[in-house]
Structure 1
């Protein structure tokens, strides 16, 4: 069915070649037919004016953006000239694409090319730069940019508040030490997991290790080191003891990674919202 639709589009493209396909491309993009719009753009051989070509590059960028083809989206958006009414929107979204892809230097370079003489555009620029610095782990610099955006701005108000909350949370966050967790678990099994916030798992490890340790000691005291039960329970205790230390260290890394990923995603989400609100 999809291929039949593409053949129909190709036929319509051939019929309308003399007039150009920009209205048709715009209709496809606005209707959510992004793949079809990209197909039409790729097969449209008409020689357009510079202004018309700007429109096509914008629609091509938007279609790829909607399909999560972010690198292709950026490439198309960046072909839009500074005389186009789509210029600011194209460059902000091209910058955001690179932010999402983790190319923060490239994103900054793109945003720096935007004319910021209009104050709302300057506010949006500083807001996006604040997010870039947060994602880079440069929290003091992020705060400086964020302070340049007035909170009373209707479009950015909620997102400025949200980034401020993220900044405060990061300031209060105390990163757990995997070394400390390992040492604590070596001294008292289970305490390392309690330290990282896994109280239930920590108590369970503590009970298990102490239990097997006491059973091993009792068998050793009664039957000696060579006794089968002493060896069996001693082996179980040793495995549990070592795995408990290792588990405590890994738990710290997992928890910190989860925290960083959550913060990362929150920042990306907040950076995206005003772009849609600002230009829609």
Structure 2
């Protein structure tokens, strides 16, 4: 009975080895959708050799990563066991997938599980750099600063990324300092100035011009006619609409500017996190 089980395992392992060779061929040819399809047809619970299961989980997760199916990729890459030669690469890319999906706490948990030989050059620097990027994306600046002071700014793997992360932090703080209320007050005093303050300099003139135009016409009608005249009431009402719209538009523009700026900066942080991972494993 025992021998029969051993023979069955050998047959299954041999089959899985052949499938993995085929999957490796598909990956070399960047046929990632086929990799996912072939992998999904295999029931891992029926196989006996953990090394082969690790390989399949990695290749399938890698294919999902390349297809930007990041949640699936993270799940499969995290399934690679610690004794596998693919463990380190799997964990770093799993954490990156989670970071990209805004699952920063999950990414931090994955990073906490990374184990490597202390003699492995640059692994510690790469790990700490990933922590720093996650803290920056979470706007936890104190934790970000505490990590940065521990990193070697001369390390070729992360030196440029460190400079970029510091710049990103400063940019995030500048964006946060923009006040919607102040933008509204500025536009109440000088139409369009709130848009200029918010960062939409090209829109400032477009917001100011109708206010000045209809304000001037309304003032002219006030002088020529009277406050009760149809002409004055008409142009004063139009001026009022543009004036109020100019104030409210400035308030909204700060929120829009912040959302757009945060998104742009966050995307740059993600790029800076990805580059050293790719360098380390290529």
- Say yes or no: TM over 0.5: yes
How far, CA to CA, are the matches of 1:186 and 1:22 in structure 2?
68
Contact 1:156–1:274, Cα closer than 8 Å, also in 2? yes
Q: Secondary structure at the match of 2:81?
A: coil
Instruction: Show the counterpart of 2:4.
Output: none
- RMSD, aligned α-carbons: 2.1
Contact 2:17–2:52, Cα closer than 8 Å, also in 1? no
Contact 2:88–2:116, Cα closer than 8 Å, also in 1? no
Contact 1:216–1:233, Cα closer than 8 Å, also in 2? yes
TM-aligned CA deviation for residue 215 of structure 1: 1.9
Contact 1:189–1:206, Cα closer than 8 Å, also in 2? yes
How far, CA to CA, are the matches of 1:177 and 1:217 in structure 2?
32
Residue 69 (structure 1) aligned with residue 73 (structure 2): no
TM-aligned CA deviation for residue 225 of structure 1: 3.3
Deviations 1:23-79 (A, max 9, x none): 111111122011111111122356241111000000011011010001110111111
Instruction: Show the counterpart of 1:10.
Output: none
Deviations 1:138-158 (A, max 9, x none): 123212212222122222222
Question: Which of these residues, 23, 37, 51, is aligned with residue 25 of structure 1?
Answer: 23
TM-score (norm 2): 0.86
**Segment drifting more, 95-104 vs 163-172:** 163-172
How far, CA to CA, are the matches of 2:98 and 2:170 in structure 1?
26
TM-aligned CA deviation for residue 18 of structure 1: 7.7
Deviations 1:236-275 (A, max 9, x none): 1111111110111112112222221111011000001111
Contact 1:104–1:136, Cα closer than 8 Å, also in 2? yes
Instruction: Show the counterpart of 2:91.
Output: 91
Q: Secondary structure at the match of 1:20?
A: helix
TM-aligned CA deviation for residue 276 of structure 1: 1.0
Contact 1:74–1:93, Cα closer than 8 Å, also in 2? yes
Instruction: Show the counterpart of 2:165.
Output: 163
Quick one: structure 1 residues 272 and 233, their matched pair in 2 at CA, closer, same or farther if it must change by over 3 Å? same
TM-score (norm 1): 0.87
Quick one: structure 1 residues 220 and 107, their matched pair in 2 at CA, closer, same or farther if it must change by over 3 Å? same
**Segment drifting more, 102-111 vs 175-184:** 175-184
How far, CA to CA, are the matches of 2:248 and 2:17 in structure 1?
69
Contact 2:172–2:262, Cα closer than 8 Å, also in 1? no
Residue 256 (structure 1) aligned with residue 254 (structure 2): no
How far, CA to CA, are the matches of 1:148 and 1:86 in structure 2?
27
Structure 2, unaligned runs of 5 or more: 1-13
Contact 1:91–1:111, Cα closer than 8 Å, also in 2? yes
TM-aligned CA deviation for residue 19 of structure 1: 5.7
**Segment drifting more, 167-176 vs 52-61:** 167-176
Quick one: structure 1 residues 263 and 37, their matched pair in 2 at CA, closer, same or farther if it must change by over 3 Å? same
Deviations 1:171-202 (A, max 9, x none): 56662111011112122322222323444543
How far, CA to CA, are the matches of 1:204 and 1:43 in structure 2?
59
Number of paired residues? 265
Deviations 1:98-141 (A, max 9, x none): 10000111100011011155262221110000000000001232
How far, CA to CA, are the matches of 1:260 and 1:18 in structure 2?
46
Deviations 1:195-229 (A, max 9, x none): 23444543454343233223213323333234221
